[in-house]
Amino acid sequence: MGIGRKLFDEIDKPIGYKKVYQNSYGLESEASWNGIIKGYNGFPDGKTVGSGNSFEGKNRVIISNWEGVFTTNDGEQLTFKGRDMNKMGKFVVLRTYSTNFKKLSWINGLVCLLEGTFNENKKEFSSIGYEWIFLI
């Protein structure tokens, strides 16, 4: 497996947060966010909205599951699902997309690897998405 083309830059802002459960092992929460994607190499520009669940352990490592909708500037919609790991404001995400739009069918099953950071002052997540290539 390897990293392929850069596909997008993404800026996300949290829009909701709810603590679900806390115990001696850590904190479970739900969150939502929206964002803007600037695409490269054929990946479209657009806006995202997503939500998911996170677990933050006592070691301050956060593991999350996310899903949402990406609406391109042309009005086409894609769904996405992802999983990430965040430690000390730095994170990595594994994300997949799907769509019914023929023009963007190449994105179906695309696996992206995102790396990014959380800026506490701006209250935003900034990431770069890369194509993840399966080498045979």
Q: pTM value?
A: 0.90
Amino acid identity at 107? I
Write out pLDDT tens, residues 17-42.
999 999 999 999 999 999 999 999 99
Please, what's the b/e burial string for 24-33 (b: 16 or more CB within 10 A of its CB; e: otherwise)?
A: eebeebebeb
Give per-residue pLDDT as tens, 43-99. 999 999 999 999 999 999 999 999 999 999 999 999 999 999 999 989 999 999 999
3-state secondary structure 20-75: EEEECCEEEEEEEEEEEEEECCCCCCEEEEEEEEEEEECCCEEEEEEEEEEEECCC
CA distances from 69 to 33, 35, 36, 77 (A): 11, 10, 12, 7
Q: Map out the domains of the chain with their CATH numbers.
A: 2-133 (2.40.160.20)
